Amino acid sequence: MKTIALLATTLVATAGLYAADVAARITVDASAPGHAVSPLLHGIFFEDINYGADGGLYAELVQNRSFEHAEHFYAYGKVARGEAAGELGIETVEPLNAKNPHYLRMTVRNPDKGFGIANYGYGGIAVKAGENYFFSVRARADAAFTGANGALRAILEDETGRPLGECTCDRLEADWKKFEGTIKSGATATQARLVVLATAAGRVDLDVVSLFPEHTFKNRRNGLRADLAQMLAEMHPAFLRFPGGCIVEGMDLPNRYQWKDTIGDIAERPQNWNRWQDAIRNQTAPQYYQTDGLGFFEYFQLCEDIGAEPLPILNCGMACQFQSKQLVPLAQLDPFVQDALDLIEFANGEVSTNWGARRAALGHPAPFNLKLIGVGNEQWGEQYFERYPIFYKAIKAKYPDIRIVTGAGPGVDGPEFDRWKLAWDKFKSGTPADLVDEHYYRPPQWFLENAGRYDAQDRAGPKIFAGEFAAHDRGRRNSLRAALAEAAFMTGLVRNSDAVAMSSYAPLFAKAGAYQWAPDLIWFDNARVYGSPSYYVQMLFARNRPDVVLPVAIESAGGVGAAGAAAADILSTAPKPLPPLFAVAGRDPRAGELILTVVNPFTEAREAEVAMRGVVRFAPEARATVLTSASADDENTFEAPRKVAPREETFAVSGPVFTHTFAANSLTIIRLKIRE
Ligand code: AHR
């Protein structure tokens, strides 16, 4: 595609000229390739925060499907139409199974035009005209109901009560049985509800009331919301860290994430409360639970579907150290270690093994080829270093090829981090880690000033996993400013990717109006989704990851540099000097291209002289992908989801030295095809 008008003024390449008044000189030495870039460098971190799983990526449309919320009728309402009469109650006698102890009892005295319940989903159910929805329920009934040939009508209604479609389940019995039906929606609605009505008098028990769109990601049953999963696929993530985060630790030990509770029949997965019920900031959500419908099988399957390496994180016998601080005594750690070993067997074991057979029974006899595992989330202190080696030794003894990720606590500087480093130094000669997981949520300025954080990293130590990071701008907004600070920082991750093997932004998802933490990568409601500017930064880095890094020298010219720092509107009163531009370069041999990534986080456009040493000829046309907007304050919204989104450009290049203007507040990725 030829030059797009919007950017034409900023993308001016004057090949062969030697510009005297440029702001910077960028010299790339293509004749001296450096280290290979880690193929795992850019990935995703998923946690069930901000309704990321239930009410989000997990496509279940019914909230509180098993009546296990503390408020058992949460998201439900009673329906009695015409002269209908009866009672609704919650019972625990002879439940569906012990892991799912509560169920709904409908005692119908007069069914008339319909007696039953309505489920309002997660603030409404979004349905589309012409699409199918799979209804299912576990039910049983007494002799009065069955003797009267009673049935259950499952009806989708819009917010005015207009029916959109329905199905019927009949032949209920005295024992629990699963019933299924398909409802085709006759119209599109965002505030629909699912109504389940009994057609006869008598007693009917219901549990696991469920409604799924037929169209899920890859059309899998018990699957994922297609639009949200597609956003992940489009990032081209190298790995997917799961399930947390603080979720792994739990507020206390009983609340911790237990993977064995998350596989198999959804009716047998015990519901856990979500520790993000009590948000640190923003909104609390007392009825926020984890059904674990998006469990470990669905997780491995998603990894496979989007080509990402799985990186499960496991509890290491420690609950959140900011909250309950509960610890499993060392002598009682065995079941936790066994959980780790069993998870590896579940992922990779032959079908003749116990857990390999469980995987096969779930429909995936082939192994998932797990290579990485994390022990603990944000753990620190001696207590962690007492527990971690027990896991390390057991895992390496049985699975020497599995690479282990160690937590590095919640921060990356200050006394806590120094204490962690001391503990680590004492410890590492005995039991090294393969990767160390560092987390940083800092202002944009920190990211700019720390783009060289890993330049002097000890290459002999464990590899770095920048496992959770995000620039927190004023008001914790998903601004372009924050995204560009992350991009500038990420040029340092690529440059040092012999030391930094992996990285992921956090958190991933946020549901508008129901989130506990901001900023986030992807925002959605029940029917819509958009990527933040940070989403596009992550996507562009992943899609333009070179195979080999090339040396880059960036010099200030024309008096920009320290003075340039003052021009950045994100800096505090005492900023550290910044380079005139942030840049990293590399080679993509498969495409036969050089990739130059340049971040200009400053408020004025900057012209640079770009010199490509060691390349004789390029194709005459270069491609540039540019992420920018009129203001660094700009964000994406449901109304303007691509206000800040990448735009493609081409420009003419006739030689290895050219000038190029990098727009104010921009990330630019230039691809130059080599003709040699
Ligand atoms: O990403 C949100 C939280 O930040 C994670 O759960 C935790 O690991 C970190 O403190």
Q: 2 pLDDT exceeds 80? A: no
Q: 317 pLDDT exceeds 70? A: yes
Instruction: Name the closest-CA residue to atom 1, ligand 1.
Output: 507
Kindly state if the Cβ of 506 falls inside 6 Å of ligand 1: yes
Banded pLDDT at 430 (limits 50, 70, 90): low
Cα-to-centroid distance, 118 and ligand 1 (Å): 35
Across the range 98-112, mean pLDDT stands at 98
Q: 44 pLDDT exceeds 90? A: yes
Instruction: Name the closest-CA residue to atom 2, ligand 1.
Output: 507
Omega of the bond leading into 507 within 30 degrees of 0 (cis): yes
Q: Please give the pLDDT value at position 431.
A: 67
Which SS3 state, helix, strand or coil, does residue 577 take? coil
Kindly state if the Cβ of 499 falls inside 6 Å of ligand 1: no
Q: 8 pLDDT exceeds 90? A: no
CATH number of 43-59+216-543: 3.20.20.80
Instruction: Name the closest-CA residue to atom 3, ligand 1.
Output: 245
Annotation: CATH topology of 12-37+552-675: Immunoglobulin-like (2.60.40)
Across the range 553-562, mean pLDDT stands at 70
Mutate to test the pocket of ligand 1, among 44, 46, 47 (most ligand atoms within 8 A of CB): 47
Kindly state if the Cβ of 519 falls inside 6 Å of ligand 1: no
Instruction: Please list the alpha-helical segments (H only) found in 75-225.
Output: 143-147
Active site residue 214: no
462/460 Cα distance (integer angstroms) = 7
Cα-to-centroid distance, 245 and ligand 1 (Å): 5
Cα-to-centroid distance, 440 and ligand 1 (Å): 10
Q: Please give the pLDDT value at position 183.
A: 98
Contact predicate 509/520, CB 8 Å: yes
Longest Cα separation, the chain: 94
Contact predicate 276/49, CB 8 Å: yes
Banded pLDDT at 68 (limits 50, 70, 90): very high
Kindly state if the Cβ of 517 falls inside 6 Å of ligand 1: yes
Question: For the chain, what is the mean pLDDT?
Answer: 92
Kindly state if the Cβ of 468 falls inside 6 Å of ligand 1: yes
Q: Please give the pLDDT value at position 475.
A: 93
Instruction: Name the closest-CA residue to atom 5, ligand 1.
Output: 245
Cα-to-centroid distance, 246 and ligand 1 (Å): 6
Banded pLDDT at 18 (limits 50, 70, 90): very low
- Digit-coded pLDDT (tens) for 377-406: 999 888 998 999 999 999 999 999 999 999
Tell me whether the CATH fold assigned to 43-59+216-543 matches the one assigned to 76-213.
no
Q: 118 pLDDT exceeds 90? A: yes
Instruction: Determine the residue type at 159.
Output: E
Annotation: CATH topology of 76-213: Jelly Rolls (2.60.120)
* Residues above pLDDT 70, as percent of the chain: 93
Using CA of residue 587, residue 588, residue 592, residue 598, what is the dihedral sign? negative
Instruction: Return the ligand 1 atom nearest residue 517 CA.
Output: 2
- Digit-coded pLDDT (tens) for 493-546: 999 999 999 999 999 999 999 999 999 999 999 999 999 999 999 999 999 999
Across the range 90-118, mean pLDDT stands at 98
Sequence ranges of the domains in the chain: 12-37+552-675, 43-59+216-543, 76-213
Mutate to test the pocket of ligand 1, among 46, 246, 277, 314 (most ligand atoms within 8 A of CB): 246
Instruction: Name the closest-CA residue to atom 8, ligand 1.
Output: 245
Q: 13 pLDDT exceeds 70? A: no
Across the range 295-301, mean pLDDT stands at 98
Banded pLDDT at 139 (limits 50, 70, 90): very high
The Cα-based distances of 95 to 186, 206, 210 in angstroms read 35, 10, 17
- Digit-coded pLDDT (tens) for 184-211: 999 999 999 999 999 999 999 999 999 9
Kindly state if the Cβ of 47 falls inside 6 Å of ligand 1: yes
Query: Any idea what DSSP says for residue 122?
Result: T
Across the range 650-675, mean pLDDT stands at 94
Q: Please give the pLDDT value at position 427.
A: 67
Kindly state if the Cβ of 244 falls inside 6 Å of ligand 1: yes
- Digit-coded pLDDT (tens) for 616-629: 788 999 999 999 99
Kindly state if the Cβ of 469 falls inside 6 Å of ligand 1: no
Instruction: Return the ligand 1 atom nearest residue 244 CA.
Output: 6
Contact predicate 580/14, CB 8 Å: no
Among 10-24, 66-80, 234-248, the range scoring the smallest mean pLDDT is 10-24
Cα-to-centroid distance, 257 and ligand 1 (Å): 14
Annotated active-site residue in 60, 68, 249, 378? 378
